[in-house]
Structure formats: C-alpha cells, structure tokens
Amino acid sequence: MNYTTYIALIPLLPLAGFVLLGLFGQRHFTRSAGILGTLILLIATLLALYTAYQYFIVTGAVNGAYAAIEPFKYAWLEFSPGMSIDMGILLDPASVMMLVVVTVVSLMVHVFSLGYMKGEERFATYYAFLGLFTFSMLGLVLSTNIFQIYIFWELVGVSSFLLIGFYYDRPAAVAAAKKAFIVTRFADLGFLIGILILAFNSGTLDFGILIQRLTDTQSLQWMQITGTGFLGVSILSWALALVFIGGAGKSAMFPLHIWLPDAMEGPTPVSALIHAATMVVAGVYLVARLYPVYLIEGTILQLITWIGAISAFLAAIIACTQTDIKRVLAYSTISQIGYMLFALGVPAYGDASNTGYTASLFHLFTHAFFKSLLFLGAGSVIHFVHTNEMANMGGLRKLMPLTHFTFLIACMAIAGIPPFAGFFSKEEILLTAWENNKLIYYGALVTSGLTAFYMFRLYFSIFWNKTAPPNHHTDHHGEGNWSMKLPLLILALAAVGVGFIPFAHYVSINGSGSPILIPISFSIPPVLIALVGIGLAYILYYRENDRPQRLATALGGLHKTIKQKFYFDELYLFVTKKIIFNGIAKPAAWIDKHLVDGTMNGLGWVTTRVSVSIKAWQSGRIQSYTLYFFGGIIALAALFIYWWK
C-alpha cells in the first residue's frame, strides 16, 4: 500500500494553516480565520481517517501482525554513517491510533472554538496557534526517530505555552504559561540527557534500530549499556528513567504535576485539546514507543507503576475538594493518566505480558474522547454562566439540555459505568493490575470509586443542586450555536461507541493482539464501587444542603490539606524562592556581577586598549606594509626552520 503520496500532508496542512493565519490572519482573515483553519484541519482529519482505514482494514494484519511502515524518511543531519537525525513518518498501530485521536479531537476543538472564541480580538492568532499545536503533536506521534520526537516535543511545549498564555493581559494566564513552560522544560532536560545516553550507547537515534539493538541480549550495544553502571544502577536504567522524567513532566505526573491545574487559565477548548486529550498523554506515548526496551528493565517499569498509581490516587483525592470546575477536570486528567502509566508499568511485577500496553493505550484512546467532551461541556457551561466556580452554578439542566445530556454521558464514561467507553478500557487496566500486583489493583479500585464520586459531584453541582437561577442571562445567547453543539454530540457518540472497538485486536506490543477477555464476575466490584461513589455524590450534592460543609468541617485539617493540594505549590515555592534563590541564585548573581562582569569589562577594556595601540600598524603607507610582509616571512622561516621543528 502506498501512503507516500498524501501522508505528509496530514501534519503539513495544519502547519500551512499556521503559516497562513500567523502571517496574514490578523490583517486579512479577521473573520474567516476560524472557518479557514477548520476546513484545513477537516481535510487533514479525513486523510488521517483514510490512513487508519487503509492501515487497519485494507492492508490489515500480515501473518497476524500489523507491520510498522515508514512511508518516508529523510536524513536531516547526519553525524556519522548510521547516526543521523531523521525527519520521517512512522506508521504502526500506536501511531495510527494517535493520528486519529489528535486529528479528530483537534477538529472538534476547532469547530467548538468557532462559537466559543467568536468576537475575540486575536481570533486569527488563536487559530494559527491551534494549527501550530496540531502540527507539532502530529509530528510527535509520527516520529521515526528519538531526536525527531524531542524536537516536536519541544514544539508542542512552545505551542502549549502560547495557548495557555493566550489571554496575555491576564497576569494569572501569563504566570500559568510560564509555570507550565518552566516545569516541563525542566523535565525535558532529563529527557534530553536520556536521549543522549541512549544514542551514545546504541549508536543510533532511529526507534526501530534502537529497540532492536537494545532488546537483543547478544548485541554489542546491549552488553555495553547494561554492563556499565553509575551509582550501582546500569546506564540503561538511568537512560530510561531520565527519558521517563521528560514524559512525567509533560504528562503532569507527581511531583511534576503542578503546572497542569494552573494551565487551565488558557481558553477552555485549548484545555480540551492540549491538557486533556493529546499533549499530556505524550508521556504515556513516549513510554509506549520505547516499551520493548522498558520491558527488559523491570525496575524502571516498577518505578513508573508507583508514580502512576500515586498520581492517580492523590489527584483523585484533590479533585474531590476543588471548586473550580476546570481544575476538577485537570486533576481528573492527572488521575486518568496515572491509570495509563501504571497499566504500562505493572506487568513488570508479573508475567510481563503485553496486556498492560494494550490496556494503557486503549484507555488513552477512550479517555481522549470523553475527557475532551467533558472539557468542551465545561466550556459550554462557562460560556453560559461566565464563571468557573461551582458555587455559582446549579440547576442548569433545563437551560442547557444538550450540554447536560452529553456531560452525563461523559461522566458515566469516566466513572466506568457500562456500556460507556471508559468502562471497557478501565476494566482492562484493572485486570492487568489484578493479574500482576494486587496492591495496585486495590488502590486503583478505590481510585475508581473516588473518580465516580468527584465526577458526579461536579455533575450534580452544575446541573442539579440549586433551582435554576432566575432568568440567568439566558435570553440572549442560550446554549450556544451549532458550532458548539455539534462537537458535543459527536464526542458523546464517541464516548459511547469507541468502547466497542476490539482495540486489542489492532493495537498491541508485538502487532498481533488477541482480545483481552474480561470475565463478567470481574467487572462487578469496580462497577459497584463506582455506583457507591455516584450514590455518595447524590446524597451530598443532588440538592442544596449543608452536608458537604459539615463533612468538610468534620475532616478539618485533612480537608484543608487536600484542598490546598497537599501544599505542593507551597513546597515548590519554598524550594525555589527560599533555597534556590537565596542559596544558589544570589551567590551566583554576586559572582556574575562582580567576578564575571568584572572580568568581562576588564577584558573589554584591555581589548579596546590593545585595539587602539596597534592602530599604528594600519598606517596606510605601503612601504611599511611590505616591511611587515617581509618580516612575517622571516619570522616564520626562522621560527620553523631553526626552532620549532
């Protein structure tokens, strides 16, 4: 099958959109920018869906496995034979799946923003940034080369920075953009060092060759990278751990999660796209890309398991106490990504089978749809009531019927109620955990109860609780126009439907998956726990009452600690402001000011002085020029014939 003719268009079209709208948008397409950007992305999405159809259905599995194809690859910078930074496209089940997720969710966000961002002053710029992000994200998932992924990884970070800080006149947005950029950039440092170690030891940057060399225990590279160690841990482990730090930063895992809740300062559709469905799962995708290498290094996978599980649990607890609806969703995102990561890691405790890989990517897939639906629904609500605070909402079900209905579907999906999509993927994750590590399983079970609780707390608080506010500026703009409703409907359909895709058949670590069979009896406890969570939420939040307040008072300090997000931000502030600024930055600044600047100024002064004093050389008299010329020859000859032989 020949993909080469059009495959490159998928990432390049959004890039073209970015260039077009970025250069001319504000001047020439003030109104049509949205339509233009959306149309461009629609073409890209159709091409992506066609590619997926070609890849999975038409070409299909050969000998029971889906082949990895590289439709094109271009050696961009070649350091030495075999060691080059390539720009290429890699199609394998995981990347094709991501291709569909990114384009579809991005398209939905493009359409939704037509209504949501209408009348914004920098409307065209917004669409230009969306195009840049989509391009970068597509480049990331299609990378053939670990350095290519790094380049796009940073580009994704930049476009996320631009979009979080889109309302650059709000100090909070600017601070959040900065925070997101700095925290993820800090983590990326680990990623870069990890890449360099892997590349140095395996002699290649290409994913395929790298995996092949580092998983073959007979190969020279494998012996080298596992044979040497640092601080008692093999170099391979260090490299993988460092790469994972990069992933954990992007995926907002504890303790690098602090940027994600603040990132909610960006426009809500952006949160749906970047901070729910696509960019934040890049860390999961990265681990999945290098999964064969991770599999042979069990300790790192165990580390990943625990980081994932702890993130899932802590974020779920924090989500229960937040009152800003976008922050609730942000913590829920952290929690769900935690699920994906421990699903990847947990097989290291048991049979190291590939069910974890499939389950994790399946959850990534379903989560993308229902979480972006939740965010877009939240966007719709915020658009309607002009606030993010739960306390100012309530009773909106009559006023926003469609939003209410789709939001409910998404809540059921994330809570894991059959037959919605989240149920299927979560069951697979739980089954993997059950088979490999019981402790993780029970933790996940509790977390899934918490998930159901906080999601329905959100749901009841928005749509029920109080009676509808009297005449709450409803007359002029209702629920929003078609462009805001259509994406909700489509994503709701997806949140119901995608769970029935035989995912394991398509995406698995060795390309030939057998479906993961879940016994019905296994599903009973999780569903029950979820129902308990929903019941609790119903009791506390269905009608306006003082029970939540009483509960909060009863829990006292504990509630406050959780509500303050376990004081993570304060801890970081303490470390940066008090320790780093005072202990390191101030002395460094002093040295910089007095020693470095002093030396530099001194050097500059000397340079200028010398420069003035040799002015006489350049006298303009040709006699002296020839004299210097001849002197140069004599000096060189004398120096090299007699002295420096």
Binding region for other proteins (CB under 8 A):
75-78, 607-608, 610-612, 614-615, 617-618, 620, 622, 624-626, 628-633, 636-637, 639-641, 644-645
Nearer to other proteins, 391 or 610 (CB): 610
* CA separation for the pair 146, 322 (Å, rounded): 38
Closest distance between other proteins and the C-beta of residue 85, in Å? 8
Nearer to other proteins, 120 or 154 (CB): 154
* CA separation for the pair 607, 493 (Å, rounded): 71
* CA separation for the pair 279, 284 (Å, rounded): 10
Nearer to other proteins, 439 or 600 (CB): 600
Sign of CA dihedral 496, 498, 501, 507: negative
Asked if residues 324 and 265 have their Cβ atoms less than 8 Å apart, the reply is: no
Nearer to other proteins, 5 or 618 (CB): 618
Q: How many Cα neighbours within 13 Å face the side chain of 100?
A: 21
Nearer to other proteins, 64 or 632 (CB): 632
Nearer to other proteins, 476 or 645 (CB): 645
How much of the chain is helix, strand and coil, in % rounded to 5?
75, 5, 20
Asked if residues 463 and 395 have their Cβ atoms less than 8 Å apart, the reply is: yes
Helices H / strands E in the chain, number of each: 29, 4
Instruction: Please give the DSSP secondary-structure letter assigned to residue 42.
Output: H
> Any idea which residue has 């058949």 for tokens?
505
Distance of CA 413 to the CA centre of its chain: 21
Closest distance between other proteins and the C-beta of residue 83, in Å? 12
* CA separation for the pair 275, 540 (Å, rounded): 29
Asked if residues 391 and 458 have their Cβ atoms less than 8 Å apart, the reply is: no
Closest distance between other proteins and the C-beta of residue 599, in Å? 12
Phi then psi for residue 430, to 5 deg, are -60, -40
Asked if residues 55 and 7 have their Cβ atoms less than 8 Å apart, the reply is: no
Closest distance between other proteins and the C-beta of residue 612, in Å? 7
Q: Which residues contact 459 (CB under 8 A, 6 or more apart)?
A: 407, 408, 411, 537
Nearer to other proteins, 520 or 622 (CB): 622
Closest distance between other proteins and the C-beta of residue 210, in Å? 20
- The helix/strand/coil state of 577 is helix
Show the 3-state SS of 66-108. CCCEEEEEEEEEEEECCEEEEEEEEECHHHHHHHHHHHHHHHH
Nearer to other proteins, 144 or 461 (CB): 144
Closest distance between other proteins and the C-beta of residue 615, in Å? 8
Q: With residue 233 as reference, give the H or E element that holds it.
A: strand 233-234
Nearer to other proteins, 58 or 614 (CB): 614
Nearer to other proteins, 522 or 628 (CB): 628
Nearer to other proteins, 218 or 643 (CB): 643
β-pairing, 233-234 with 83-91? unpaired
> Any idea which residue has 């504000």 for tokens?
26
Closest distance between other proteins and the C-beta of residue 493, in Å? 43
Asked if residues 349 and 441 have their Cβ atoms less than 8 Å apart, the reply is: no
* CA separation for the pair 621, 254 (Å, rounded): 73
Which of 209, 430, 452, 219 is CA-nearest to residue 316? 452
Closest distance between other proteins and the C-beta of residue 163, in Å? 24
Q: With residue 229 as reference, give the H or E element that holds it.
A: strand 229-230
Nearer to other proteins, 579 or 636 (CB): 636
